[in-house]
Structures are given as C-alpha cells and as structure tokens.
Amino acid sequence: MEKTLPLNAISGKVYLVGAGPGDPGLLTLKAKSLIGCADVVIYDALVSPPILACINPEAEQINAGKRRGRHSKLQGETNQLLIEKARAHAIVVRLKGGDPFVFGRGGEEMAALVEAGISVEVVPGITSGIAAPAYAGIPVTHRESGSSVTFVTGHEAAGKYRPRVNWRAIAQGSETIVVYMGVHNLPNIVSELQAGGLAPDTPIALIRWGTHPSQEELVATLETVVTKVQEKQFEAPAIAVIGKIVNWYGILPKNQPATPW
C-alpha cells in the first residue's frame, strides 16, 4: 500500500535502519516492521538476501551498494536521492549492513537530511564487529582477557574526512582490537601494531561473512597472518579481532550458522 503524503506535508520521514550482519534472525523487530511497510528502501551491498526478502514487495527498491572499488553511487548522490525520495513519499528506509552509525556513514546521511529539513530517525542494528566474533565463539570482552576494546577502521585511505589511524597508540591502549575493512591493508596494520609494542605471537582471528551460512574463520598470529591470508585467499568482507581474547577461539562454542540461503 503506497502511503502518499498529506497535501500539507513538506516531506516524509527517513529511517536509517541497521540490518545487522546478515543472519535474518538478528534483525530487530523495529527494523523488520519498517522495511515491511516502507514506500522506498535504499539498501547497501552487505544487506543479506533473506533480509531483502522482508522488504514490502510494493516498495521501490534501490541498490546504493558500495563495495571496495565499486562505488555504485557516490555519497553525495545517495544523500540527494534520500532527500528526493523523502519529498515524495511518507516512509523512506535507508537500509545498511550492521549498525548505521558504525563505519556506515549514517552520521553523514543524517546530517545531510537534517540540513535539507527532512525528518530522520536512526534504528540501530547489530554491528558485525561484535556479531561476527560472537558467532565464531570469541567474546569481544572477557574479565580475564579483555577489559577494553577498540573498534577501528582498517581502510587505508586517510584524508579530508578521516585522520590517519594511530595504530601504535591503539597497540598500547586497548587489550582487544576489532578492525573493520582491514583485509586489504592488513600488512600495514600488522606491522604498525608490532611497531607499537604488540608481540609477534599476539593472536588474531579473521571472520569472513560472519553470521552467514558461508562464515569462515582464519586464526593466526601477527607474525603469520599475512602469509596465511594470501595462502587461503581470504577476502573481504571480514572482521579482524586482535588480542589474547582470541585464545577463546575453539574453547567457547560457535553459533550454528544461519539456515542456508
């Protein structure tokens, strides 16, 4: 059912919705209800097929997906699209993998919408930096082996919108380090963390397609991980977890993967 705007309405509302890491069972009730009744859903590449299947079949569905080197829409174009759709429809959902505000550009999109006078609300999702390790049997904190955790982007590009990550300070300051988008830049990350004082035998786990039926893990040390990643041709999207918390891998049970899709 199309929910057209009342004549006196200036615009509809945009919901920045987190789709979680992939397993449809991790979608929040609020997210599921919104995608089921939206007029327009603009979604990212990492939103999983069973979650896309929950979208209102009457809704206009637009893939704004971005994967490394394959920007199907530039951020400015996506912001503009959200504004245009909100001016024509009552409920516009911007559906993002994980949580919209965790390395998801949700803050940028929200600011652009506010500036354009559009009403906007965030619906947090379960971020992959917590869920992927959890499904592999690695808690991101533990009283015995990890009282602090840092979530950091491993994407190497620093510039106008992002200062360079100070890996050496992170090595000193956090017991557990969770890296998003780190596979491509792994040699540099590993070398900087060791330069910051982490021992070469510090454990690291990479979890690829976490919570998906195809989830894969690779466990190594800072010294061996780059070679192992090359040997196994381990590719993005993956979360890296670094620190002695990784020693729980193989001790705590893994979650059953989601039903194949």
Structure tokens at 109: 């999109």
Mask: binding to ligand SAM, 45-84, rule CB under 6 A, as x and -? Answer: -x--------------------------------------
Minimum Å gap between C-beta 207 and ligand SAM is 6
Burial 175-186 (b: 16+ CB within 10 A, else e): bbbbbbbbbebb
99 or 109: CB nearest ligand SAM? 99
Q: Does 124 bind ligand SAM (CB under 6 A)?
A: no
Structure tokens at 249: 């891998």
19 or 90: CB nearest ligand SAM? 19
Structure tokens at 200: 């070469």
Please enumerate in sequence order all residues whose Cβ is within 8 A of that of 106, keeping only pairs 6 or more positions apart, or say none: 16, 94, 96, 99, 100, 122
163, HSE (Cβ side, Cα atoms, 13 Å): 3
| DSSP 8-state code for residue 109 | H
* Sole window of 29-37, 69-77, 93-101, 225-233 interacting with ligand SAM (rule: CB under 6 A): 93-101
Minimum Å gap between C-beta 201 and ligand SAM is 24
Minimum Å gap between C-beta 12 and ligand SAM is 24
Q: Which of 118, 177, 211, 248 binds ligand SAM (CB under 6 A)?
A: 211
Q: Which of 56, 78, 128, 174 binds ligand SAM (CB under 6 A)?
A: 128
Q: Does 39 bind ligand SAM (CB under 6 A)?
A: no
| Polymer length of the chain | 261
* Nearest residue to ligand SAM, scored by beta-carbon proximity: 98
Q: Does 237 bind ligand SAM (CB under 6 A)?
A: yes
d(CA 167, CA 125): 27
d(CA 24, CA 239): 19
Minimum Å gap between C-beta 258 and ligand SAM is 10
Structure tokens at 14: 């945009």
d(CA 20, CA 124): 9
**Looking at the annotation, which residues are catalytic?**
44, 66, 181
Residues that bind ligand SAM (CB under 6 A): 21-22, 46, 96-99, 102-104, 127-128, 132, 180-181, 207-212, 236-239
